[in-house]
Amino acid sequence: MSAHPADAAIPHTVEPHPITGIPNGKFGIWLFLASEVMLFGALFSSYVLIRTQAAHWPPEGGLSSEILNVPLATLNTAVLITSSITMVLAWASCKLGRLDRFRLWMGSTIALSFVFLVIKYFEYTHKFHDGHFPSTNNFYAIYFTMTGLHGLHVIGGIVVNTFLLTAGTWLWKVDREHFTNRVENAGLYWHFVDLVWIFLFPSLYLL
């Protein structure tokens, strides 16, 4: 028995499954994203409930946009949107058979993910410095929980994307289409992380 990972034949990594019409990996990632919708959905639901029941929001008075840093969050929105298109281009490069371009775009995606986290770090430390913690009130509890969970997802994306950029590229040499599908699936996850932020940004910072 050969020890090479490519010999361990997992069915339908490239050719579509006869029932679903798509490769299993893609079906799997969409089911995972469905569960992610419920995870963030429950938090959004809690947010709506807590906020509609509050006498004032934020409880300390003023507006969310005055308490949170809108310019930094706007910049972070742009960073995340940019990382989404670099992710698409990384996948497209695989489709076009260009591993060098893939490395460039995937590297950019990971770099932008770190930029997002660094900006988030500045936001957090500024809040901590001013004595605002998740335990301060419901506003900060919601803010830290939702952006924190989103931040964990960004870190998860960095881990997967870094694997695909480094050790994971062995698959490119063995089965290009399979590798391309992995990049596509990582991309689906990454765009979802962008999508969550698209709703988090206005509902936490602007409204």
Partner 1 sequence: MAETADHSSAEEFKKHLGKYYVVFVALLCLTAVTVGVSYLKLNRPLAIAVALVIASVKAGLVAGVFMHLISEKKVIYAVLILTAAFFLLVLLLPSLTIFESVAA
Is 22 or 117 the residue whose CB approaches partner 1 more closely? 22
User: φ and ψ at 166, to 5 degrees?
Assistant: -110, -100
| Least distance to partner 1, CB of residue 74, Å | 5
Long-range contacts of 105-108 (CB under 8 A, 24+ apart): 106/161, 106/164, 106/165, 106/183, 107/165, 108/83
137 token code pair? 């009130």
Is 77 or 113 the residue whose CB approaches partner 1 more closely? 77
| Least distance to partner 1, CB of residue 2, Å | 27
Cα separation of 55 and 109, whole Å? 42
- Say which residue the tokens 């910072």 belong to: 205
Cα separation of 168 and 162, whole Å? 8
Q: By the criterion CB under 8 A, which residues form the site for partner 1?
A: 16, 19-22, 27, 30-31, 34, 37-38, 41-42, 44-46, 48-49, 52-53, 65, 70, 74, 77-78, 81-82, 84-85, 87-89, 92, 95-97, 184, 187-188, 191-192, 194-195, 198-199, 201-203, 206-207
| Least distance to partner 1, CB of residue 53, Å | 7
Is 174 or 206 the residue whose CB approaches partner 1 more closely? 206
CA neighbours within 13 Å on the CB side: how many for 14?
A: 11
Is 46 or 162 the residue whose CB approaches partner 1 more closely? 46
| Least distance to partner 1, CB of residue 152, Å | 20
The total number of residues shown for the chain amounts to 207
- 3-class state of residue 174 by DSSP: helix
Cα separation of 154 and 113, whole Å? 7
Is 5 or 156 the residue whose CB approaches partner 1 more closely? 156
| Least distance to partner 1, CB of residue 58, Å | 14
| Least distance to partner 1, CB of residue 162, Å | 20
Is 101 or 103 the residue whose CB approaches partner 1 more closely? 101
Evaluate whether 5 touches 111 at the Cβ level (below 8 Å). no
